[in-house]
Structure 1
Amino acid sequence: MKFYFKTFGCKLNEADSQIIKSILAKDYKEELNPDNADFVVFNTCGVVDKTEKKIIRETKQFQKQGKKVFWTGCLPLITRNNVSNGSIGPNNVLDIKKAIKGNIHIFTEKKIDKSVLCNFKEDSVSAVVAISEGCSGNCSYCGSRIARKGLNSFPRENIIKRIEKINAKEILLTSQGLASYGIDRGKQELPELISDILKIEKDFKLRLGMMNPKFLVHIIDDLLELYEDKKMYKFLHLPLQSGDNNLLKEMNRGYNINDFLDLVYKFRKISKDTILATDIIVGHPKESEKAFKNTIKIIKETKPDVLHVFRYSKRKGTEDAKLKELDVRIKKQRSKYLVTLFQKYNLEKNKSFLGKEFEVLVIKDNNLARTDSGRAVIVKNSKAGELKKVKIKDVKWNYLIGE
């Protein structure tokens, strides 16, 4: 039998998808065209309502075609409307064939070491490596922590063994929050893990995934020393969520604006070209007009190179699910304002790269490449995996164009 597979959501889900597909491949064959598949598997995301509705809509469309649809990932544990033919939670990847064969739903809180389950293709240029699952935070709005429960840091030695087997030119470390790695064992161990990874005698670039400021403040100095290594992309994903201290407190984020700014300023001192990514939630039930203006102020001050703007979405089982939501028009207006602001200043920032020359690592044929710092460059007439010298001829608000 053949299956069609689709991944929704974050890099952590992408890592899980590698595991699930490798398990399914023992009994089934993956089909890239859904029309030719016997059944469908969605690795789902439950972060926002918009994605949930899309997953449900596409599930019903396939079911109308006579195909069974099975869910993995976070959504089965968050939604009140599980319309799949069978599903598993994030901790139950090993049960995927059982769920499919029995058309059943399997959810347990057992912890497993996924670092020994990953099966990467040898010819992959870019590989996503998960180092933990779950979270040590207690954010009032987050549904993902309900689905993935407490922190489970995978053994350091197993992560190293996995990376040693990978021939990828780019390794993307991921989790729900890298900086909390090891806390469940009594100590933040991310600097030690990265140090061990950088000692691996292979030619690759390493990019770190999202890190909560609450936990990063305790290890930032050790990390900054590691960022000096030539293997490290000068990239930091530091989710702000709000530029208002009162709202951050209501969200249970565990840090304040000064913590965020201090981390940003320290990070930007390591190189002439650094890349700061951040996330903002607009339209939280307790986000006043003043709070939103404070967010605008911080964005204008720090000018992140990557800005993800999310409209607040009520999630079942969270503290904030009890609150009255803001009018959807307010959410749309605030989202549009921040996106427009970002696109405008980032276009001007990218124009400063016009005429400059870089050696880039090509990630996708005739398409995406990255500079030494990790900045995205579109390069035609290029082959994935090669190093290529390019000159920036044009720019867009979200990438550079090189020839």
Structure 2
Amino acid sequence: MEDIEDVVVAGAPPGLRLPLTAVVVKPKKKPRARSIRGDPLSRNPLIPGTQAIYMKTFGCSHNQSDSEYMAGQLSAFGYAITDEPEEADLWLINTCTVKSPSQSAMTTLISKCKDAKKPLVVAGCVPQGSRDLKELEGISIIGVQQIDRVVEVVEETLKGHEVRLLTRKTLPALDLPKVRKNKFIEILPINVGCLGACTYCKTKHARGHLGSYTVNSLVERVRTVISEGVREIWLSSEDTGAYGRDIGANLPSLLNAITAELPSDRSTMLRIGMTNPPFILEHLKEIANVLRHPCVYSFLHVPVQSGSNAVLTAMNREYTVSDFRTVADTLNELVPGMQIATDIICGFPGETDEDFAETINLIKEYQFAQVHISQFYPRPGTPAARMKKVPSTEVKKRSRELTAIFESFTPYQGLEGKIERIWITEIATDGIHLVGHTKGYIQVLVVAPDSMLGVSANVKITSVGRWSVFGELIEEPIQVKESTCEEHRVEEPSPSFDCCGGLCSKDVEACQCADNCGERVCNTELEAASASIAVDAAVVVKDPSGGKFASTIRSMLLRRRNLRSSERETVGSHTTKFSGNRQRRVITGKLATLDWILLSGMFASFLTAIALLALLSSEILSSS
């Protein structure tokens, strides 16, 4: 699942090509849909909701979210979603128009569907932006803002009718049924369309002008998905930075409202989607403040597309290379561990050798860990398609040269031996590793059981590769201590959270603002814990029955000490410990009231036992 300009058609884009020995990441496959061939009624198009639907999605994370919403509605109506096209009664293809290869793949799939004589519905950006394509003749199509009517379109198509829904002025609701490709990741569209007019891009033709969801509706959706067990929320749109400009809001106000809803135990993380430089420039400090939040990945995708101002002008990107540098430099300065991904288009019409050299110098200067490198593809109907093209051999040569330079970087060198907290949400295709991400969204591969999915853990980085790093889980559980860093706010704090997001720890990584609040507050907590230990150590219990009773009491006192030091009445923790390849799940609930009840019960049992022994002894003496 990629951002709008990071389309994957057949493997990763050049800048993200994985070597043969690398581990490619994808969510665990869902079980195959039920077989329907043995039931004649299930294949009757006159009985809606009894058929199987094969869905294929191309393009960006926004498209993936749309597909999940369509799958949710179809499933709610009774349709089975299958990964096997041969088993399906209808195919639904959600398309992308950003690059030619993705549209070519769509055309190939349409031909296969026609050869298989399957009913077909085509959704997404291609029919919305190019409704008169020859390939779409006689096919049902549904636009990007009509996904809430997918059941109707499928129903009519199964009956043999052709349906075309492309016009609408309102956004689909966010609370529609949804079947997530990865149950731990919610892709949340915050707006559709954009305010730009790039000469090479056809997305504007499909998604239209900017249309933003309200802050309240997005916050309500965040509350809902957190309650459903989501561990990562991806904010998605054609340009995240432009959010709210059509409704009198802005991105910082939305981010502040959302981070206020994230659990203080950091069990759910937020990833901010792609934003173009023009609309983030005026909010850089506010965005940096949000990216420092413990529950927000310190990662941002900011496309530059070219290191030449002349090329950026031809692209109509509405910013300069200096503007991009301001964004990158400010975020790198203000956000510890900041990771910035960017995009480059090689061979844009009119790009000279000197222009390309400026792009190379920019990439060498910043050495981004992620660069999505694309060759220029003219999109029909765009101004760039009419510009004089760079020879295709030269475009390919430039793409190969830039890719070789990018692959020579070693962005993760120096991480070996470091302790990092990661959030684990996916399974690698090798079936051995789980995939987690650090706060800087660096991919970490660990050997662990599937039960660790949806869990955050501390890992020690054991080795680094070009594309990811490898780590080992650390046995010590993550301790999250709550505190109020009221006296230690960063400059220009956002109104919805303090500099530590309500969290403090002796671990600098956990606080993410150690210079401001990490040392004093966290050390104060450690002093309080030490004082608690001293008080508990003063309690001496003599146990003539072998020490087990005293050991139990010491354990209870230790739990009570932990409750004091964290200043909470109720603490629940779920920790996984590992010893070699063995796993042991430890589930503990620390309830102060229950401890006292158990302690009282133990004393009562102890006294009762002594009384019974005394009574038995007196009876024996009297009988003798």
Instruction: Report the counterpart of residue 196 of structure 1 in structure 2.
Output: 257
Provide the secondary structure at the position in 2 that maps to 1:397: coil
1:65 matched to 2:134? The reply is: no
Distance 1:97 1:205 in 2: 32
Q: Structure 1 residue aligned with 2:144, among 70, 90, 102?
A: 90
5+ long unaligned stretches in structure 2 = 1-50, 428-432, 473-624
Distance 2:152 2:396 in 1: 42
Flag the 1:272–1:201 CA change in 2: closer, same or farther, 3 A.
Answer: closer
Distance 1:376 1:268 in 2: 19
Could you list the per-position Cα deviations for residues 147-193 of structure 1 after superposition, in whole angstroms to 9, with x for gaps in the alignment?
Answer: 01100001110110011011311111110011100111245x11011
Query: Aligned partner of 1:327: which letter?
Result: P
Instruction: Report the counterpart of residue 237 of structure 2 in structure 1.
Output: 175
Provide the secondary structure at the position in 1 that maps to 2:294: coil
User: CA offset at residue 206 of structure 1?
Assistant: 0.7
Query: Aligned partner of 1:9: which letter?
Result: G
Query: Aligned partner of 2:471: which letter?
Result: G
Q: Which has the larger radius of gyration?
A: 2
Distance 1:159 1:293 in 2: 43
Query: Aligned partner of 1:150: which letter?
Result: H
Provide the secondary structure at the position in 2 that maps to 1:352: coil
User: CA offset at residue 126 of structure 1?
Assistant: 1.5
Instruction: Report the counterpart of residue 454 of structure 2 in structure 1.
Output: 385
Query: Aligned partner of 1:369: which letter?
Result: G
Contact 2:148/2:172 (<8 A) preserved: no
Distance 2:395 2:170 in 1: 37
Between 1:225-234 and 1:144-153, the stretch displaced more is: 225-234
Flag the 1:109–1:302 CA change in 2: closer, same or farther, 3 A.
Answer: farther
Question: Normalising by structure 1, what TM-score?
Answer: 0.94
Contact 2:262/2:269 (<8 A) preserved: no
Contact 2:129/2:202 (<8 A) preserved: yes
Query: Aligned partner of 1:315: which letter?
Result: R
Provide the secondary structure at the position in 2 that maps to 1:90: coil
Provide the secondary structure at the position in 2 that maps to 1:171: strand
Provide the secondary structure at the position in 1 that maps to 2:151: helix
Flag the 1:271–1:94 CA change in 2: closer, same or farther, 3 A.
Answer: closer
User: CA offset at residue 259 of structure 1?
Assistant: 0.5
Instruction: Report the counterpart of residue 368 of structure 1 in structure 2.
Output: 435
Contact 1:343/1:398 (<8 A) preserved: no
Between 1:199-208 and 1:103-112, the stretch displaced more is: 103-112
Could you list the per-position Cα deviations for residues 229-271 of structure 1 after superposition, in whole angstroms to 9, with x for gaps in the alignment?
Answer: 1011100110001110011111111100111001101111234
Contact 1:120/1:127 (<8 A) preserved: no
Instruction: Report the counterpart of residue 127 of structure 1 in structure 2.
Output: 186
Contact 1:356/1:391 (<8 A) preserved: yes
User: CA offset at residue 367 of structure 1?
Assistant: 2.4
1:185 matched to 2:254? The reply is: no
| 1:210-229 correspondence runs (5 A) | 210-229=274-293
Contact 2:238/2:274 (<8 A) preserved: yes
Between 1:133-142 and 1:374-383, the stretch displaced more is: 374-383
Instruction: Report the counterpart of residue 163 of structure 1 in structure 2.
Output: 222
Structure 1 vs Structure 2: percent identity of aligned residues?
Answer: 28
Instruction: Report the counterpart of residue 384 of structure 2 in structure 1.
Output: 320
Could you list the per-position Cα deviations for residues 93-134 of structure 1 after superposition, in whole angstroms to 9, with x for gaps in the alignment?
Answer: 123233331322221142314423363559821111110000
Distance 1:281 1:109 in 2: 33
1:239 matched to 2:316? The reply is: no
Contact 2:262/2:268 (<8 A) preserved: no
Distance 2:176 2:350 in 1: 42
Distance 2:377 2:61 in 1: 20
Distance 1:123 1:98 in 2: 26
User: CA offset at residue 55 of structure 1?
Assistant: 1.2
User: CA offset at residue 4 of structure 1?
Assistant: 0.9
Instruction: Report the counterpart of residue 412 of structure 2 in structure 1.
Output: 350
Instruction: Report the counterpart of residue 293 of structure 1 in structure 2.
Output: 357
Instruction: Report the counterpart of residue 559 of structure 2 in structure 1.
Output: none
Distance 2:253 2:382 in 1: 34
Question: Normalising by structure 2, what TM-score?
Answer: 0.62
5+ long unaligned stretches in structure 1 = none
Between 1:135-144 and 1:365-374, the stretch displaced more is: 365-374
Instruction: Report the counterpart of residue 308 of structure 1 in structure 2.
Output: 372
Distance 2:214 2:337 in 1: 33
Distance 1:42 1:352 in 2: 44
Distance 2:206 2:403 in 1: 29
Distance 1:331 1:114 in 2: 42
Between 1:47-56 and 1:378-387, the stretch displaced more is: 378-387
Contact 1:78/1:316 (<8 A) preserved: no
Contact 1:113/1:155 (<8 A) preserved: no
Query: Aligned partner of 2:252: which letter?
Result: P
Distance 2:53 2:60 in 1: 22
Query: Aligned partner of 2:116: which letter?
Result: Q
Q: Structure 1 residue aligned with 2:65, among 15, 20, 29?
A: 15
Contact 1:227/1:270 (<8 A) preserved: no
Distance 2:118 2:259 in 1: 46
User: CA offset at residue 13 of structure 1?
Assistant: 0.7
Provide the secondary structure at the position in 1 that maps to 2:324: helix
Q: Say what the alpha-carbon RMSD is for the aligned residues.
A: 1.8
Contact 1:282/1:312 (<8 A) preserved: yes
Distance 1:297 1:19 in 2: 43
Contact 2:423/2:456 (<8 A) preserved: yes
Provide the secondary structure at the position in 2 that maps to 1:269: helix
Contact 1:122/1:168 (<8 A) preserved: no
Instruction: Report the counterpart of residue 421 of structure 2 in structure 1.
Output: 359
Provide the secondary structure at the position in 1 that maps to 2:148: helix
